[in-house]
Amino acid sequence: MPRNSENPPPRVPLADLLARRRRIGDRVDAAVARVMAHGQFIMGPEVAELETALARFVGVRHVVTCANGTDALRLTLMAWGIGPGDAVLTSALTYVATAEAAALCGATPVFCDVSPDTLLFDPAGLATGTARARAAGLRPRVVIPVDLHGQPADYAAIVPAARELGLRVLADAAQSVGGSLNGRRVGGLADATATSFFPAKPLGCLGDGGAIFTDDDALAEVLRSLRVHGSGKDKYDTVRLGLNSRLDTLQAAVLLEHLAILPEELAAREAAARNYDAALAGRADIVRPVVRPEARSAWAQYAVALDDRDRTAAALNALGVSTGVHYPTPIHRLPPFRGALTASDALPASERAAARTLSLPMGPYLTVADQERVVDALVKATSGKT
């Protein structure tokens, strides 16, 4: 179609969720058709097949799939017996689900700050957060570091420090499947790792889905029971209270196809990130969070910090570029968590990031031409020429 002023080029979406279909739509449709034909819609063979394939990909003993990422966090906390009187530390800069999972178990979240350079859980919060939890009469039990934007948190520092303090480590890897730290894939970096297959995540499905990764045999067994109402030897033998939280067979079938091309998609995301880095290299006023040399990000988001974030986002939008904010409000400022415990009187790095961070269009199928449009628009928007 010829382009003129009445025919502007299509918008650059934050994430193009249909692009993958152009590549493997036929394979996904065939996988869905196979499930339609065998009819085992709940816990069909594709579910176990996916769990085996994911365990091999990540390099862990067990993968337990479930209905969504929030349940993956919640089921793990339930399996560990977390409840009223227990404190769960996490960062204030995350999606609400991280803290919600703890609160729904009856536990008390304790919000910690992030490191200003990486926007990941600052390990300094472990000592202060547990001290404040104890002072409030709570038992500190778990820390949930968040792999924000796809970069694994600082597990090399967090895991040993958490051990000293008697805390278990549950990684919130909703955004980071495929990332790694010192050559070890996300999923094997903590006592347990929760992820999400929400469509926009690096390993997304076509609806809701989630999983827990662990090397702990006993934990995996309890999780398998909890996701089916706390079942025992069969579904009418209920040995504990659980949830109805299974991954649909249809989504497992789709995920097997998506997992097969995940390594190539991760490489494409990495290339897109490098491209943005090169294009923005001269702009001291537009900086992205640091990815440490020992870490590989899954690049769920490519975010930059901007002094005038909201005005810039509006200008980009007017120029046909969609953006996102991950996340606009530190969780302890949201109504359900107002007045919540914090690891220090203020969480300045989380507050500053919430006010300044903007996610640019990102994805494995983002074209170089679209990236140029994003960068051109960003240059215009930040030089006041709009």
Ligand X SMILES: *Cc1c(COP(=O)(O)O)cnc(C)c1O
As a whole number of angstroms, the distance between CA 170 and CA 195 comes to 11
- Identify which of residues 172 and 265 has a Cβ nearer to ligand X in the complex: 172
Could you give the residue ranges of the DSSP H alpha helices within 191-261? 217-226, 249-260
- Identify which of residues 94 and 214 has a Cβ nearer to ligand X in the complex: 94
The dihedral built from the CA positions of residue 372, 262, 174 and 183, taken in this order, carries a sign that is negative
Burial 327-338 (b: 16+ CB within 10 A, else e): bebbbbbeeebe
112 φ/ψ angles, rounded to the nearest 5 degrees: -115, 160
As a whole number of angstroms, the distance between CA 123 and CA 153 comes to 9
Sole window of 63-71, 251-259, 276-284, 363-371 interacting with ligand X (rule: CB under 6 A): 63-71
Cβ atoms of residues 329 and 305 within 8 Å: no
- Pull the structure tokens for residue 68: 């969504």
Candidate residues 12, 16, 28, 68; the one interacting with ligand X per rule CB under 6 A: 68
Candidate residues 115, 193, 196, 225; the one interacting with ligand X per rule CB under 6 A: 196
Q: Tell whether residue 172 is a contact of ligand X (CB under 6 A).
A: yes
Q: Tell whether residue 213 is a contact of ligand X (CB under 6 A).
A: no
Cβ atoms of residues 371 and 276 within 8 Å: yes
Candidate residues 76, 94, 350, 371; the one interacting with ligand X per rule CB under 6 A: 94
Give the footprint of ligand X on residues 286-345 (CB under 6 A). none
- Identify which of residues 363 and 373 has a Cβ nearer to ligand X in the complex: 363
Sole window of 30-38, 39-47, 94-102, 271-279 interacting with ligand X (rule: CB under 6 A): 94-102
Query: Which position's Cβ is nearest ligand X?
Result: 69
Q: Tell whether residue 50 is a contact of ligand X (CB under 6 A).
A: no
Q: Tell whether residue 146 is a contact of ligand X (CB under 6 A).
A: yes
Shortest Å, Cβ 325 to ligand X: 13
The DSSP 8-state label assigned to residue 332 in this structure reads G
- Identify which of residues 174 and 315 has a Cβ nearer to ligand X in the complex: 174
The dihedral built from the CA positions of residue 220, 222, 226 and 229, taken in this order, carries a sign that is positive
Could you give the residue ranges of the DSSP H alpha helices within 3-44? 19-38
Candidate residues 57, 80, 121, 198; the one interacting with ligand X per rule CB under 6 A: 198
Half-sphere exposure of 275 (CA within 13 A, CB side): 22
Lay out the sheet containing 180-181: strands in order across: 184-185, 180-181, 295-296
Kindly give, in sequence order, each residue whose CB lies less than 8 Å from that of residue 17, ignoring residues fewer than 6 positions away.
199, 200, 204
Candidate residues 80, 95, 111, 365; the one interacting with ligand X per rule CB under 6 A: 95
Query: Could you tell me how many residues of this chain bind ligand X (CB under 6 A)?
Result: 15
**Per-residue string for binding with ligand X, 102-141, x by CB under 6 A?**
----------------------------------------
Candidate residues 65, 76, 98, 151; the one interacting with ligand X per rule CB under 6 A: 98
Cβ atoms of residues 331 and 20 within 8 Å: no
Half-sphere exposure of 342 (CA within 13 A, CB side): 18
Sole window of 41-49, 169-177, 213-221, 306-314 interacting with ligand X (rule: CB under 6 A): 169-177
- Identify which of residues 98 and 130 has a Cβ nearer to ligand X in the complex: 98
Shortest Å, Cβ 265 to ligand X: 17
As a whole number of angstroms, the distance between CA 196 and CA 310 comes to 28
Contact set with ligand X (CB under 6 A): 68-70, 94-95, 97-98, 146, 172, 174-175, 196, 198, 208, 210
